[in-house]
A and B are shown apart, each in its own frame.
Chain A
Amino acid sequence: MLRIIRIITFSLIALTAFYLLVLQPQSKQEEQEVAIGGAFTLHTPEDETVTNDSLKGKLRLVYFGYTYCPDICPTALVAMQQASKNIGTDKISQVFITVDPARDTPEHLKEYAANFPGLVALTGSMEEVKEAARVYKIYFQKATESADDENYLVDHSSFIYLMDADGKYLAHFPHDINAQKLEAAIRAAI
């Protein structure tokens, strides 16, 4: 009996070690290989085309959301705004990409962006928005639970991404990060 227990215990230890040493590093490596960021084409409310290349030259904070999102989106944008101001808007740009192009018309988006000086607010056709979301690994989906056809919610990935001056991924932060912490985290990542 004791022998069987010993064998089982040893097997478990061996299996755990095998998982930790061999399998897990591989899966972590795979995760890192899934690149965040890349080519996209979107438009400002003034109908200027913005691409991954046209934003190069400055660090960039990227957040996907929608203007009818009252709780977390403004919270994230306030943090982005304050952190960028302290780091220097000549060094870092703030990009907001709508996941609700149907309601976030250029006019509406322009009005919203005016609350956040320096914010590059972007929209496009649903296909263009979907492509930008795909390259940034952003999930979004109109919520089934909605007040009516005009007053709906959108579930969406809510990370704030930090990209380098070439548009390559550096780090991501939660939407509710405090502005001071975001600033410190950006400085640490660059």
Chain B
Amino acid sequence: MFKPLMLGTLLTGFTLVSASLVMADGNTTLKVTDAWTTPALTKNGSLAVYMHVENTNEMPVSIIGAETGEAEHSMIHQTSTDKDGTSHMEHLMQLDIPANSSVDFKPGSTHVMLMGLKKQFKKGDSFPLTLEVEKGEPVQVQVEVRALEAKNQ
């Protein structure tokens, strides 16, 4: 009886200390590199934005959305394809990135879906995008528009 209680107290204490450390730290940020998309294929079309997101924090960080002035809607999407070959895109309300790990946003997988584009981007253009982070500063990203062929490497 005594031992579990002590362990529990220790764990609670540890959690409180960790939490305060995080609070003291304040900014939970993510490192985003290699953000890119392809040229818009039509006017008012959709685009998928890909990137490498690294969480260098000692705690999990959650992306809870994306925003750009260039599109009517920006959402974190996850493409999945079942064994029968049916592809489906799911809107992720929250994407958890574990401590000290990274997530690749890549074709056929996680991406930021932009719908209702206001501009028809061409190769060589770039535009800003913001990732909204739970309990942290939003992350500003510059998205590079690459050739369409970059999709299939």
> A residues within 8 Å of B by Cβ?
67-72, 74-75, 78-79, 82, 108, 111-112, 115, 139, 143, 145, 147, 150-151, 153, 155-159, 172, 174-176, 178-179
Q: Which of A71, A72, A78, A175 contacts B149 (CB 8 A)?
A: A78
- Establish whether residues A159 and B79, one from each chain, have CB atoms under 8 Å apart when the complex forms: no
Q: Which residue of A lies closest to B109 (CB)?
A: A71
- Establish whether residues A74 and B46, one from each chain, have CB atoms under 8 Å apart when the complex forms: no
Is chain B's interface secondary structure helix, strand, loop, or mixed overall?
Answer: strand
Q: How far is the CB of A59 from chain B (nearest CB, A)?
A: 20
Q: Report the bound CA distance from A68 to B75 in whole Å.
A: 14
Q: How far is the CB of A168 from chain B (nearest CB, A)?
A: 19
What is the count of residue pairs linking A and B with beta-carbon distances less than 8 angstroms? 95
**Quick check: is B142 within 8 A (CB to CB) of the other chain?**
no
> B residues within 8 Å of A by Cβ?
38-39, 41-43, 45-48, 72-73, 75, 77, 79, 81, 84-91, 107-108, 111, 113-116, 148-149, 151-153
4 nearest A-B pairs in the assembled complex, by CB-CB distance? A70-B46, A70-B48, A158-B87, A71-B48
- Establish whether residues A151 and B48, one from each chain, have CB atoms under 8 Å apart when the complex forms: no
- Establish whether residues A67 and B45, one from each chain, have CB atoms under 8 Å apart when the complex forms: yes
Q: Which residue of B lies closest to A159 (CB)?
A: B85
Q: Report the bound CA distance from A69 to B41 in whole Å.
A: 10
Decide: A82 near B152, CB < 8 A? Known: A108-B42, A112-B41, A143-B89: yes
Residues of A within 8 A of B89 (CB): 71, 143, 153, 155
- Establish whether residues B107 and A176, one from each chain, have CB atoms under 8 Å apart when the complex forms: yes
Q: Which residue of A lies closest to B152 (CB)?
A: A78
A-B contact pairs, 24 of them (CB 8 A): A67-B45, A70-B113, A71-B48, A71-B77, A71-B111, A74-B41, A75-B107, A75-B151, A82-B152, A111-B42, A112-B45, A115-B41, A115-B148, A151-B115, A151-B116, A155-B88, A155-B89, A157-B87, A158-B86, A159-B85, A172-B85, A174-B81, A174-B85, A176-B108
